[in-house]
Amino acid sequence: MSDMSASASLAMTHLVSLAKEIDEDKVTPGVLGFIVFAVMAVAVWALMKSMNRHMGRVDFPEPEAPATDSEDALAKGGKKQA
């Protein structure tokens, strides 16, 4: 367990020294930021394509609308009342 804390503190000291080297006036996302954004865009595109394919397969019977009184009278052969 003490090895993990020692390696973690060593890593933090290296990261702190790297952070001091960065110019505070010129911070950009860089190549890593572009790669992450591109991967996220491809993932969203693939998910939307999959969703459209799955939604196209959905088929469910719609319930019939309940008939009104005037439609019942017409169906029985009666006259429509005004």
Task: Tell me the C-alpha to C-alpha distance, in Å, between residue 36 and each of 43, 58, 78.
Answer: 11, 33, 70
* 57 contacts 50 by C-beta, under 8 angstroms: no
Residues, the chain: 82
Per-residue pLDDT at 26: 80
Measured distance CA(61)–CA(81) in Å, rounded: 32
Q: Give percent above pLDDT 90 in the chain.
A: 30
Per-residue pLDDT at 58: 86
Place 1 in a pLDDT band, splitting at 50, 70 and 90: very low
Measured distance CA(53)–CA(43) in Å, rounded: 15
Phi-psi sector, 30: left (phi>0), alpha (psi -120 to 50), beta: left
What does the pLDDT look like over 13-52, one tens digit per residue?
665 665 566 677 787 888 999 999 999 999 999 999 999 9
